[in-house]
Amino acid sequence: MSIQDNLATLKDRIEKACERVDRDPEEITIIGVTKYVSNERAKELLEAGIVDIGENRTEEMLEKYDAIGDDANWHFIGTLQSRKVRDIIGKVKMIHSLERESVARQINNRSDEVIPCFVQVNVSGEETKHGLTPDEVEDFIQTLAPYEKVKVVGLMTMAPHTDDEEEIRDVFRQLRTLRDDIKEKDYLHAPCDYLSMGMSNDFEIAIEEGATHLRIGSILVGS
Ligand SMILES: *Cc1c(COP(=O)(O)O)cnc(C)c1O
């Protein structure tokens, strides 16, 4: 299937999911995840109209950045080590995987601009998953207040590996509740308006539960 066809199908499914819960598709940002594919394929995605591109490894993000540059908005969605922060600063538009103060400190020291970040939460508790436990999140966000270049725009999670839709929905719902709790506190450095959740297999449930940023790889570009 061509990327245009995949994108048309995806947009159609997003619209239908939005209709079910009375949401506006305009509130939803599609991040095309290109980690499986070539620079050429990533360029095709841009040509098809997707400007937000996600990568989960710094080396691969940099390689694609060299080929594509600032035509795309680069989203870093994978585990980020503090010593790698400097490589992507100035290039990355949003970081979806903040979970350590040392990374926040590096962003603060190295960036000229405020970087919108999502705090990653391991809601499902699966050991293979990164992120803070839900009860660590608020304290962590409070420790970020002195880092002026870090703005917590929302929370991010990955659904558990299961076919059980209710289990997935429950994880997304918990993230939303946590987001609502933090948003209510009105932290200046953490408006926490957004929810980065939903991938190829579960984005419709994520939309129904309030996702604002979908990270979509395989059903868009292939795998
Ligand atoms: C790979 C990846 C995605 C996209 O996964 P698909 O199932 O192919 O849509 C989303 N988020 C993260 C963090 C990823 O690593």
> Which tokens belong to 128?
């293979």
Determine the Cα–Cα distance for residues 147 and 144; give it in Å rounded to an integer: 6
- 162 CA distance to ligand 1 centroid (A)? 15
Tokens of 127: 């050991």
Instruction: Give the Cα separation of 153 and 149 in Å (integer).
Output: 12
Pocket test for ligand 1, best of 199, 203, 205 (most atoms within 8 A of CB): 199
Taking the C-alpha atoms of residue 45 and residue 108, their distance in angstroms, rounded to an integer, is: 32
Given a contact cutoff of 8 angstroms between Cβ atoms, the answer to whether 215 and 54 are in contact is: yes
Q: How many CA atoms lie within 13 A of 43 on its CB side?
A: 10
Phi and psi based region of residue 69 (left: phi greater than 0; alpha: psi -120 to 50; beta: remaining):
left
Computed from CA positions of residues 132, 134, 140, 145, in that sequence, does the dihedral angle turn out positive or negative?
Answer: positive
Q: What is the pLDDT of residues 153-193, one digit of tens each?
A: 999 999 999 999 999 999 999 999 999 999 999 999 999 99
Please, what is the Cα angle at 188 between 185 and 194, to 5 degrees? Answer: 70
Give the pLDDT mean for 116-137: 95
Distance, CA of 23 to chain centre: 19
* 17 CA from centroid of ligand 1 (Å): 19
Domain 3-78+86-221, what fold?
A: TIM Barrel (3.20.20)
Q: What is the pLDDT of residues 14-71, one digit of tens each?
A: 999 999 999 999 999 999 999 999 999 999 999 999 999 999 999 999 999 999 999 9
Instruction: Tell which atom from ligand 1 comes closest to the C-alpha of 215.
Output: 10
Residue extents of the structural domains in the chain: 3-78+86-221
Read off the pTM.
Answer: 0.97
Ligand 1 pocket, CB under 6 A: 33, 35, 56, 77-78, 158, 199-201, 215-218, 223
